[in-house]
Amino acid sequence: MSDYIEPRKPEPSEDYHELIDAYKELHEQKGKFKGISLVPLVPTINKVMKENKCKTLLDYGCGKAFPYIKEECQSIGLRNPVQEYCKLESFDLYDPAYSKYSKLPNKKYDTVICTDVLEHIAEQDLDWVLHEILSFSKKIVFLNISCQPALKHFQKGKFKGKNVHISIFDRQWWMNKVGKVWNNFNHLKVYMICVSKGDTTAVCIKKEK
């Protein structure tokens, strides 16, 4: 029997649904959302997983998940896929905008990672999305958030012309936002990296001893 209890959440906003549809269209373009942003973070993720004795992982917002595909990972700079590099016992992939990985899991994992995702979510949906992410973890959550515009823009629809980083805030805003949700999950450690032009800030949110 699964030990996962799906959290209660509000109905996702209209913007959430429209953004998912827009990202689905972008996914159809060759070369989009391959998961490249995860590549430089793999050694750090491996390190914190070892420190916390983690063996299972969920990648929430994995895109096309090239870092996990043996035939593709070398094309984006990884010698071995993530699950081999980190010696995982099991892992799952989730991305609501990519049909192959669009089924939401129903169990918990030692580690949940979410890289280059939250800035793609409309502000009004961030609380429940963060709540959902943290609800999947037993031990640690690893977040990587961009605080600057992306190179991609929406080509059509409601968000035509807008940057695909729809929620751009500074690192203190993100720390406050994540910290607020973490209060309901304070048994977890949340590792967070915020990246902006000329500055990268890394913090760990955890219960004081």
pLDDT mean for each 10 residues of the chain (209 residues): 53 92 86 90 98 98 95 94 97 96 95 97 95 96 96 86 94 96 96 94 91
pLDDT of residue 1: 34
pLDDT of residue 6: 54
Choosing among 3.30.160, 1.20.1300, 3.40.50, 1.10.10, the CATH entry for 37-205 is: 3.40.50
Question: Which among 107, 145, 131 is positioned nearest to 183, based on CA atoms?
Answer: 131
pLDDT of residue 29: 80
Long-range contacts of 121-127 (CB under 8 A, 24+ apart): 121/16, 121/19, 121/166, 121/167, 122/13, 122/15, 122/16, 122/19, 122/166, 122/167, 123/167, 124/13, 124/15, 125/12, 125/13, 125/15, 125/16, 126/167, 126/177, 127/177, 127/180, 127/181
pLDDT of residue 7: 56
- Residue with structure tokens 């913007």? 15
Other CB atoms within 10 A of residue 33 CB: 23
- What are the phi and psi torsion angles at 198 (to 5°)? 75, 5
pLDDT of residue 194: 97
> What are the domain boundaries of the chain?
37-205
